Amino acid sequence: MPITKEILMDKPGEKVFMLGAEAIARGALEAGVGMVTTYPGTPASEVGDTISEIAKGIPGLHFQYSVNEAVALENAIGGAWSGVRSLCAMKHVGMNIAADPFFTLCYIGVQPGAFVLVNGGDPSCISSTNEQDNRYYALHAHTICLEPSNSQESKDFTLKAFELSEKFDLPVILNAGPRTLHGIGEVTLGKLTPPKAEGLFKKAPGKLVSATLVAVGNKARLMSRIQKVEKASGEMSELNRIIPGKAKTGIITSGAAFNYTMEASDTLSIDDFPVLKLGMVYPINPELIERFAQGLEKILVVEELEGFIEAEVKRILFEKKILREMHGKNVFPAVSELNTDIVIRGMCKATGMKEPVDYAGIQAKYSKAVAKALQRNPGMCPGCPHRATAYALKKAAQQFIEAERKGQVVFGGDIGCYATLALPPYSMQDWVVSMGAGFNIAAGMSFKVKDTMVGLIGDSTFLHSGIPGLISAVYNGANVLVVIMDNKWVGMTGGQPTPATGVSSLRDEVPPAVSLRDIAKACGVKYVRSFDPYNIRHAMEVITEALEEKGVRVVISERECVLPAKRRMEPIREAEREKGKYSYYAIDSDRCTNCEECYRRFACPAVVRKAENGKEFAYIEDARCTLCGACKEVCRSGMAITKTTVNPHVSPD
């Protein structure tokens, strides 16, 4: 949970520890932010979550979770054009959704307010389908991009981003990866600034109606503004700084890569390499690069993902007619995250220094050890309704194919906790591309393939980008079964509310929850059914009937995410324990046939196996069990799993 007390502490000079994401939220409060919008996405979720916890207590501050990134960005534009400092947070692939309004915003500008876009990058694809480098959005859209390297800079750069946005009439991208956003560091607090309570919109069609001649004029004005930023950036020592050194080899770096670079230099006992740390990675001031390159023979550019800074530095040096030996992506990989060891190896390769350790030998030993280790795949929580939905869907699909004796069931996967269904024992996501693509690709495939098409999508993803696809599928006569897995929350990114939750962005209000059933019907779907996934037999009946139908069909699996439900029920269950009325699910070893349906095929993490007295048997761990009862539903004997008030793990004696 966000550190609410520290975030709201109005004691300039006080030092506290914060996540980078929390520090960005604090920086926004110090800047007097008046509007914060977001669609939650890892690793940027905590920026919005932090603000959501405190927004109601700050007069004049509006916060909201939006249905997708484009809506979030457009709402925040409304704040900026009203003269309010506005911030919008999203993960890197969310920029693809928001790109349309973002590009035109750069043309038009943000004044009389200011606009900061927090971009959470994801090198290594820790929780994403790609690791795109969004610094290129700044280059493409001709706007400013800052890149902090720690929690203190996350706060300070947020303040600076608002200042730059206001001064140059441009949105500012604050680009940070998981090591910066999720890393904890000491932050020196500044003074909190109250947000502007009320904005004022002034009509300006000659600027805001960006079409034809107005758009061309806005483009010319945009180019002039970004050139002014480029010229001014050379003097921004709080963003760009040179660590002096006397060596003929210099290093240019930014963000998290700066930290790896300094650690690598320390390991290699290098204390004389000059280092240019860029806080503003676009635009880069040519005079700053020229000044840094003077007296150097070799330049190393250390950055994560693409050679973005490397390309800009090469362009500048070429235009300045400065010839230097340069190393970047020829020695540092463009794939996945960097770390200190990778930077050490790259620096040694570029400079001819000897590697301090036998990295090749270490890697060989590591690979050998990993091969022997027990592999643990990511999975869903015990009691997750998505597991029960998947089980019912897979069983129904298998029976349907056996009865039809032809073809196969194709499962279009999507983004969410249920993406883990691609792994055994379910193996039922045939692709995972982007939000909403699961059933949309399946719908398109249905026009050319005779197989049975099924598309999976979560409730938040359906509201995010599924509705247009559903309308199109109905309009064009697709043949696809759409399974909406409605768990009422944005489960994968920490349990944020959606319009279908019945909880507002500020958490204490109760807006009416939208009905996914009504939305599906309004999209033109004639066949709409729902079921409780914990009632697996009924779920299979509903799914089987839907599989037998033709056209666009929608079935909705309705059961709340187990984590918020468990948190809410925990005090009640604790009181039941004290009164001796608490229930347990237990496996009767005398009735169990060891079919492993609950353990291996349903794969509930609360069901485990152990050996005792020479006999191997399954049992249910009470600490993990959420009392969903799905294991009892899947039990082949129908009698081996029972609900009892007697703790099966405590001896009656």
- Rounded CA separation 10/23 (Å): 14
The alpha carbon dihedral of 146, 152, 154, 158 has a sign of: negative
Q: For residue 145, list its beta bridge partners.
A: 173, 282
Nearest partner of 42 among 106, 93, 113, 112, judged by Cα:
93
pLDDT digits (tens, 9 = 90+) for 462-503: 999 999 999 999 999 999 999 999 999 998 888 898 988 888
* Architecture of the domain defined by 385-564: 3-Layer(aba) Sandwich (3.40)
Alpha carbon distance 588, 278 (integer Å): 64
Name the CATH code of domain 583-644 (choices 3.40.1380.10, 2.40.50.140, 3.30.70.20, 3.40.50.2000). Answer: 3.30.70.20
Q: Does residue 25 surpass a pLDDT of 50?
A: yes
pLDDT tens digits for 348-400? 999 999 988 888 888 888 888 878 776 667 788 899 999 999 999 999 999 99
**Tens-digit pLDDT profile for residues 393-441:** 999 999 999 988 778 999 999 988 888 899 888 999 999 999 999 999 9
Instruction: State the pLDDT at residue 387.
Output: 94
The class of domain 4-233 in CATH terms is alpha beta
pLDDT at 653: 44
Taking only the tens place, the pLDDT of each residue in 273-321 is: 999 999 999 999 999 999 999 999 999 999 999 999 999 999 999 999 9
Give the C-alpha separation, 246 to 227, whole Å.
32
pLDDT of residue 650: 57
CA angle 588, 589, 594 (to 5 degrees): 115
Confidence of residue 1 (pLDDT cuts 50, 70, 90): very low
Q: Do domains 241-371 and 583-644 have the same CATH topology?
A: no
pLDDT at 648: 64
What is the rounded distance in angstroms from the CA atom of residue 105 to the CA atom of residue 141? Answer: 9
CA distance 146 to 251: 19
> What is the arithmetic mean of pLDDT over 87-91?
97
User: Which of left, alpha, beta for 296 (phi over 0: left; psi -120 to 50: alpha)?
Assistant: beta
CA–CA separation, 391 and 600 (whole Å): 12
Q: Does the predicted model carry a pTM greater than 0.85?
A: yes
* pLDDT tens sequence across 498-535: 988 888 877 666 788 999 999 999 999 999 999 999 99
Spans of all domains in the chain: 4-233, 241-371, 385-564, 583-644
Q: 490, 91 in Cβ contact below 8 A?
A: no
Task: Determine the CATH number of domain 241-371.
Answer: 3.40.50.920
Kindly give the interhelix angle for 94-108 and 212-233, rounded to the nearest 10 degrees.
90
Q: What is the pLDDT of residues 47-79, one digit of tens each?
A: 999 999 999 889 999 999 999 999 999 999 999
Separation of alpha carbons 47 and 504, rounded Å: 17
**Average pLDDT of the residues in 155-168:** 98
Check pLDDT > 80 for residue 613.
no
- What was the pLDDT predicted at 474? 97
Residue 444 three-state SS:
helix
Half-sphere exposure of 186 (CA within 13 A, CB side): 4
DSSP state of 451: S
**Nearest-angstrom CA–CA distance, 231 and 313:** 15
Residue 30 has pLDDT above 90, yes or no: yes
Torsion sign across C-alpha atoms 448, 449, 450, 452: negative
- Determine what percent of the chain is predicted with pLDDT higher than 70: 97
Residue-by-residue DSSP string for 229-294: HHHHHTT-TTTSEEE---SSEEEEEEHHHHHHHHHHHHHTT-----EEEESEEESPPHHHHHHHHT
Strand (E) positions, 366-488?
409-412, 452-458, 480-486
Question: Measured in whole angstroms, how far is the alpha carbon of residue 323 from the centre of its chain?
Answer: 41
549 is written with which tokens? 């139908």
Residues 6+ apart with CB under 8 A from 148: 20, 154, 156, 157, 174, 176, 180, 255, 279
Q: pLDDT digits over 308-336, tens only?
A: 999 999 999 999 999 999 999 999 999 99
Cα–Cα distance measured from residue 261 to residue 273, given in angstroms and rounded to the nearest whole number:
11
In the chain the first and final C-alpha atoms are separated, in Å, by 41
Q: Which helix (H) or strand (E) holds 346?
A: helix 340-351
| Nearest C-alpha neighbor of 78 from the set 121, 37, 138 | 37
